[in-house]
Chain A
Amino acid sequence: MTRAIAPALRPTTADNRLSGRPEFDAIAAWIEHGAQVLDLGCGDGSLLRYLREGRRAMGYGIEIDDANVLASVRNGVNVLQSNLESGLAGFESGSFDYVILSQTLQAVRHTEQIIGEMLRVGRQAIVTFPNFGYWGHRLQILRGRMPVSPTLPYQWYDTPNVHLFTLRDFEAFCADHGIRILERVVMNQGRVVSILPNLLGSLAVYRFNRGPQP
């Protein structure tokens, strides 16, 4: 039986190429106490555990990979094995406070569909993704090579990423799709970047909802 794979890029305990922590803090800062969250592509469940311990958040992770499902169970968080690409059919509309997609959007094939589902099920959505427009990435492109960095830690031939994009690309996408960006945090090496974010930031964190209908 073949299953479409939406690999999670979230670090597992065995994979420390991404520290993960700074974005966790950014996300946690937005989430009120006791919120109900759905974490798509939850990896080993670290973020859910962090939100439960830090924000008393209750929620579920969705994960396709067997090893990550096992790691999440070990981590004591709720994980539901399912393929994100087939949507969130089991979840009622507007039933979660936040639907989070952390370090996974660039690896999802049907971008519009998954963002649409996040905004259907969640009152708000949060995504984090590596900024392809980061100067270090641009420099590697100028030198004629695909970028490899702490936020894009894969070679061109083994990357699970299928859609690489920049902050400006994402914001244009939101504008085109009637999505209202509520807040944005851009980071590099764990520090918040406030000037020239599309050039100096390697990791973006966005909070958004469905904008007012025209």
Chain B
Amino acid sequence: MNAPESIGVVIARKAQFDRPVRLRSGAVIDRYELAYETYGRINQKRDNAVLVCHALNASHHVAGIYGDNPPNVGWWDNLVGPWKPVDTNRFFVVGVNNLGGCHGSTGPASIDPATGRPWGADFPVVTVEDWVQTQAQLADHLGIERFAVVMGGSLGAMQALQWTMSFPDRIRHALVIAAAPKLSAQNIAFNEVARQAIMTDPDFHGGDFYAHNVVPRRGLRLARMIGHITYLSDDAMAEKFGRALRNGALKFNFDAEFEIESYLRYQGDKFSDYFDANTYLRITKALDYFDPAADYGGDLTKALARAKAAFLVVSFTSDWRFSPARSREILKALVDNRLDVSYAEIDAPHGHDTFLMDDQRYHNLIRAYLDNVDIG
């Protein structure tokens, strides 16, 4: 077998949708665009399509590089590509930037045709259900009646799970990785701290900062820093940074002295350069609102009664943000419904972010599962 290589240069496309979409909030968006990428080829029976849903800060750029910007490697390039676990020789893989995003799809920074100005604060709150609805529109646009697989990690996994309930006949397999069936109070608390950091930044201007030609950079930095702490495990941080000092000795001031401080500041700065503050607010809200069991008296088993897909559920032992116990809640509901499901608990030290990493046990499992997905 060839050593897995990146799929190489890829092109981002946009699909235009002129049919209004009614969101869960009741708001209506008359027309919108979704940025997407595809890798591999759709087969004759059109039954080899895989939808990759992104989590908090990622995008439609799942794999490969851009010709005009080679360092910009897709966020799941270690998993998706020729001969990789999600093998683009077999599958037709679709990555999409969600509605409300800031990587090319219609979002708060886009121009509202009704006013000729950026949506800003007026862009509606979007939910996981809304994303799945609009992803289905993209599937129609691409001529995909039924996905072989819908997959994602973290918030992306929630979308895969939602697919099995919103469109039970349009998905054959769901890969639900590092997920939770709903956020805990602690999860929501972290999101609220991040939102407060953004909304109390004087440059936020109630969400209409575009008109002032500023970006609430300080708020975004803090939001990203707090997020990053929750993505890593205590052990992973200890191993990567420990108490190491950047310059060897204490300076008795408030510069970034410890390596972990420097790391968080770097991540915060990088993030505030490219991410839209209004998108961040909405994505964290989508996380907070996700609770498919809520309409069924809190009974996830009932919520998943209409699902038909087969599932692979994966959790990571060191993930304290969405711990294995949270995946087991999903598992129980799937087993109660006698749905086909396999579950693996990967003993990996890196915390929530392990789902993005090149862990052999994890990748072998996904490869083994996808090898058994019938296509053609």
Contact = CB atoms under 8 A, between A and B. Distances in A.
Given A73-B365, A74-B372, A76-B372, A81 B335 contact: no
A3 B347 contact: yes
A3 to B, nearest CB: 7
Contacts, number: 53
Contacts of B342: 69, 72-73, 77-80
Interface string B321-334: 00000001001100
Nearest to A67: B361
A78 B371 contact: no
B364 interface: yes
A78 B372 contact: no
B371 A36 contact: no
Contacts of A91: 335
B320 interface: no
A1 to B, nearest CB: 6
Contacts of A81: 343-345
Interface string A89-132: 01110010000000000000000000000000000000000000
A70 B368 contact: yes
A133 B317 CA distance: 41
Interface string B197-217: 000000000000000000000
Contact of B341 (A36, A66, A69, A78): A78
B343 A80 contact: yes
Nearest to B301: A92
B330 to A, nearest CB: 11
Given A1-B317, A81-B343, A69 B338 contact: no
A3 B346 CA distance: 12
Contacts of A80: 331, 335, 341-343
A60 B361 contact: no
A66 B361 contact: yes
Contacts of B364: 70
A60 B345 CA distance: 16
Nearest to B344: A81
B373 to A, nearest CB: 10
- Chain A interface main SS type: mixed
Nearest to B318: A1
A36 B335 CA distance: 11
A36 B338 contact: yes
Given A70-B368, A73-B369, A79 B335 contact: no
B299 interface: no
Interface in B249-284: none
Given A1-B317, A69-B365, A60 B335 contact: yes
Contact of B347 (A1, A58, A76): A1
B358 interface: no
A3 B318 CA distance: 13
Contacts of A79: 342-343
A73 B341 contact: no
A90 B333 CA distance: 9
Contact of B332 (A3, A36, A90): A90
Residue from A70, A74, A80 whose CB has the most chain B CB atoms within 10 Å: A80
Contacts of B335: 60, 80, 90-91
Contacts of A58: 338
Interface in B348-376: 361, 364-365, 368-369, 371-372
Contacts of B341: 60, 78, 80
Nearest to A3: B347
A78 B328 CA distance: 15
B336 interface: yes
A3 B347 CA distance: 10
A203 to B, nearest CB: 29
B340 interface: yes
Contacts of B369: 73
Contacts of A90: 328, 331-332, 335
A88 B369 CA distance: 24
Contacts of A72: 342
A69 B340 contact: no
A79 B372 CA distance: 14
Residue from B312, B318, B343, B347 whose CB has the most chain A CB atoms within 10 Å: B343
17 contacts: A1-B317, A3-B347, A66-B347, A69-B342, A69-B344, A69-B365, A72-B342, A73-B312, A73-B344, A76-B372, A78-B341, A78-B342, A79-B342, A80-B331, A80-B335, A90-B328, A92-B336
Given A79-B342, A82-B343, 13 more contacts: A1-B318, A60-B335, A69-B342, A69-B344, A70-B368, A73-B372, A74-B368, A74-B371, A77-B342, A78-B341, A78-B342, A81-B345, A90-B335
Interface of B: 312, 317-318, 328, 331-332, 335-336, 338, 340-345, 347, 361, 364-365, 368-369, 371-372
Interface of A: 1, 3, 36, 58, 60, 66, 69-70, 72-74, 76-82, 90-92, 95
